[in-house]
Amino acid sequence: MSVKEMIDLPALVRARGLELPPPPGSVATYAPFVRSGNMLLMSGQIPFCEGRVCYIGHVGRDVSVIDGAKAAQLCLLNILAHVAVALQQTPTPVLRCLKLGGFIQATDNFTDHAKVMNGASDLMVDVLGDNGRHARSTIGVASLPLNAAVEIDALFALE
């Protein structure tokens, strides 16, 4: 991509055989993203699909590690859907993921949080290449909004 080309996030996702979903609405009093300078801060997204939470319960009991990774991927697609909206407001040729934060609703003895979060991280790198390589945190939690199995937030740089 030349420096003058603006990033076409939906096309990048489509090239991987996926589609960006419609950006989910907020379930409380917050904005889905906030831009400050060249930073784009994304609110946490849960695995919404077709108007409902698609992966519910605790990973390690109700949700397998494989399905947890799929939930993380869906969270990231929801994040990218909001990023696409932000890019329509402020076109930019470079989008860099700086950090992903993952919250995994898991059982007390669950220890494969990283494998779940890889569903989002791997997709981020696949879509953005080297600009998708990011810092990351992955935290096990007792509960999440709407009993979602996973929630992910993100920080991007727009250059």
Instruction: Identify whether 60 is part of a domain.
Output: yes
CATH of residue 85's domain is 3.30.1330.40
pLDDT computed for residue 159 by the predictor: 84
* Residues ≥6 apart with Cβ < 8 Å to 60: 106, 107, 109, 110, 112
More confident residue, 1 or 115: 115
Instruction: Identify whether 55 is part of a domain.
Output: yes
Instruction: Identify whether 3 is part of a domain.
Output: no
Instruction: Identify whether 14 is part of a domain.
Output: no
Q: Give the chain's domain count.
A: 1
Question: What's the whole-model pTM score?
Answer: 0.95
Instruction: Identify whether 159 is part of a domain.
Output: no
More confident residue, 1 or 4: 4
